[in-house]
Amino acid sequence: MRTYFICPAPPCPNGKLHLGHIGGVYLPADIFVRFQRMAGHRAYYITGSDEHGTYTLETARKLGRSFSEVAEGYVHKILECLRAVQITPDVFVRTSSAIHKGNALAIFRELQAAGYVDVRQGVQLYCEHCDEFAADSLATGRCPACSSPCDSNLCENCGLALQHDTIRDARHVTCGCNLVLRPITQAVFDMPRLAHSLHEAIGESVWPEPIRAKARAWLLREVRGLPMTRHFRHGVEVKQPDSLIGQTLLTWFEGLWCFDTGIREQCARRRSGRKRGVARPEHRDSFLHGAG
């Protein structure tokens, strides 16, 4: 018997799920879970809600409602959509929950202690008109590589991961005004330090060779430090060092760490069941709720 944790990407609560979400992400994961259980293995469906993204803030501003109210409402609509097609995750982690925030900070501290987190000087786009920093979808402009419209996170046309000081004609989505660059101190994940271990892991993986070759090429050409924190008031707030207090973890880190939170919850539940001698059902509609 093998154990599988199936972890489809956590949806952002800025709208309902549509058929593309279901057919492209959540249904294939559910089919895999059911297949492995039929084959006699343990399989657990772990996902959650990515509640600290700028898309939710954009929607809240358009609707004239609070950030937390919009996130809360759409999380429940997302769960309703999953239930409508009989997909019931074993654990659904709300990233706004105290459990997840505590776990995300614990992971961050472990990375700090292991030497993978540096504190460096960087820049972030800023709106002087609105007196606020902009991040991700709140800043739009043109890609420095292909000149296509993009946000400050990613160019959907060429796939380039963007840095704030490379975007052309950056504007604030909220007011339409031009954005300027302001210096900030931020946490940065030392990817170059991890490159050798990643190269070995890629070689030992069961990925098809074209995928492995693509990953190796990326490691050789494009590995650089990845910003981990930014000025955005919604999210998991960093507590140390003092120079980072008030910043929150990027959702590319803490949003995906919901899988770790969910796996820990599932393992704790199984241990608790064994101690009591209770047979645990293999497919439960169990969720972690609660805004942090």
- Tens of pLDDT along the chain (292 residues) come to 999 999 999 999 999 999 999 999 999 999 999 999 999 999 999 999 999 999 999 999 999 999 999 999 999 999 999 999 999 999 999 999 999 999 999 999 999 999 999 999 999 999 999 999 999 999 999 999 999 999 998 899 988 888 899 999 999 999 999 999 999 999 999 999 999 999 999 999 999 999 999 899 888 877 889 999 999 999 999 988 999 999 999 998 999 999 999 999 999 998 887 766 654 444 444 444 443 3
Beta sheet of 42-49, edge-to-edge order:
3-6, 42-49, 91-94, 287-288
The alpha carbon dihedral of 133, 135, 140, 142 has a sign of: positive
The tokens for 62 are 């358009």
pLDDT at 280: 45
For 270, the enclosing helix (H) or strand (E) is helix 258-276
- C-beta atoms surrounding 45 within 10 Å: 26
pLDDT at 290: 40
The highest-level CATH class for domain 1-95+255-292 is alpha beta
pTM over 0.85: yes
Which single residue is written with the structure tokens 């760490």? 257
Q: Which of 198, 184, 188, 229 is nearest to 52 (CA)?
A: 229
pLDDT at 45: 98
Residue 153 · residue 167 · CB < 8 Å: no
The tokens for 287 are 């969720």
What distance in Å separates the CA atoms of residue 17 and residue 30, rounded to the nearest whole number? 15
pLDDT at 276: 63
How big, in percent rounded to 5, are the helix, strand and coil portions of the chain? 40, 20, 35
SS (H, E, C) 134-171: CCHHHEEEECCCCCCEEECCECCCCCCECCCCCCEEEE
